[in-house]
Each structure stands twice: as C-alpha cells, then as structure tokens.
Amino acid sequence: MIYITRKASFNAAHKLSRLDWTEDKNTEVYGKCANPNWHGHNYQLYVTVKGEINPETGFLVDLKWLKDITNTQVVDKIDHKNLNLDVDFMKGKLASTENLAIAIWDELYALIAESGAQLHCIKIYETENNFVEYFG
C-alpha cells in the first residue's frame, strides 16, 4: 500500500452561524467567525489517495489527473467564493472547515475509486495553526 498526496490552495469567505439562532447566540458560540459581514481564509487542501502501484506505469495514480479532478470538482467551485452562498456542494450546510472537508470528500470519492485508488484523507488547513483531517 502506498499513499500519495496532492496539495491545492484556495481563498474563500464564510460565516459560521445558524439561522435558527439569534445573532447574539451565534456570536457567543462562534465568536468573530459569526461576523455578519463574513471573513475569509487562505486555505490549503491536501488530497491523499492510497492503493497499489500499477506495475505498468509505476504510478498509483497520475498526479496531473489528481490535480485536474481536484481543481475541476473542488477548487474551481470554491476559490474566491463565499462558501455559504456560492458553493453548490455546501448548500444547506454550516460552513465549518469540518463540514467542508466532508463535502470535499463526497465530491472526490467516487472519481478516485473509479481510478482504482482509494481516497484516504482530506486535510484542510484553515490557518497555519488550525487544520481538519477527514478519513471518511
């Protein structure tokens, strides 16, 4: 079993708030992240796949292919967007980094499986000190 990871970057705005809570309750729970005028991050996304090396190609998967599907399915849809308002796969979800990691997993899982590899982990750095890892 071998693991390979492709890194991508994107910028996005979001707000943490629940519509069924008051602004005061959202601020109490989410602090500055509940800012009514949004806030943004320079995210770092790591997509790790695992499997067996193809003896013919010497690859698990072609990293250009992994870059292309990550960009098409994820980065192109979220870069310089508002996660709460503009991103189809985040509609109806609280725009936490935890929920974003799960949504990205859902966007990539089947495509990676079709290649003969397995999606192992989605890791997202929201800041240099905070990151989320999701293993499905």
Task: Report the catalytic residues.
Answer: 33, 80, 126
Beta strand extents in 70-115 (DSSP E only): 81-82
Tell me which residue of 118, 121, 112 sits closest to 51, measured CA to CA: 118
Token pair, residue 20, equals: 């069924």
Give helix 97-114 / helix 63-70 axis angle, nearest 10°: 130
Tokens 């870069």 label which residue? 79
**Coil vs helix vs strand at 77:** helix
